[in-house]
Amino acid sequence: MKNKNNRKEGAMSKLYVIYAYDQFFGGMHGNSQYAIIEAENSEEADLFATDLSRDLIDMYGIWMDAGWGQEAIDNGYPEGTSDYERYIEACVEDDIAFSVYQITKETTLSIEELERLLNVDPEDFIKEYCAKES
């Protein structure tokens, strides 16, 4: 059951800011995404952040820009083969990057309201609301 702020009621969950990006571009050119999530612990937040970064890499086709497809072919893995797909997936896994910050400031704002504030100025939001990176 969720309360009026759209948060889990009675749970020991915490709020986290996720900053997901890729190592190839390092979040430049808009290849990044911020989110606020509710999680039981930092490990759960890290799993969400990993998925968000992986989705971002897939969505922007970063693996194509990084030349991993040609790398796979040059290494003897023809396009369309399972070896090619495994090579690309390994490159994607190596490119995943993110930062996770726990929101430590007491607030009655909903996740949606917090996300609006986060999107205005992520750096200031993190300084005001969060503990150091986990």
Residue 2's pLDDT is what?
Answer: 46
Q: How many domains does the chain have?
A: 1
Which helix or strand (DSSP H or E) is residue 94 part of? helix 82-95
Query: Which comes out higher in pLDDT, residue 88 or 25?
Result: 88
CB burial of residue 75 (10 Å; 0-12, 13-18, 19+): exposed
d(CA 117, CA 34) in angstroms, rounded, equals: 11
How far does CA 109 lie from the centroid of its chain? 22
- 26 is in which domain, residue-wise? 14-133
Domain membership of residue 9 (yes or no) is no
Domain membership of residue 6 (yes or no) is no
Query: Has residue 67 got a pLDDT over 90?
Result: no
Residue 69's pLDDT is what?
Answer: 85
Domain membership of residue 8 (yes or no) is no
Query: Has residue 1 got a pLDDT over 60?
Result: no
Which helix or strand (DSSP H or E) is residue 47 part of? helix 42-60
Domain membership of residue 87 (yes or no) is yes
Domain membership of residue 89 (yes or no) is yes
Domain membership of residue 4 (yes or no) is no
pLDDT band, very low/low/confident/very high, at 133 (cuts 50, 70, 90):
low
Residue 9's pLDDT is what?
Answer: 55
Domain membership of residue 1 (yes or no) is no
Query: Has residue 120 got a pLDDT over 70?
Result: yes
d(CA 40, CA 51) in angstroms, rounded, equals: 17
Domain membership of residue 128 (yes or no) is yes
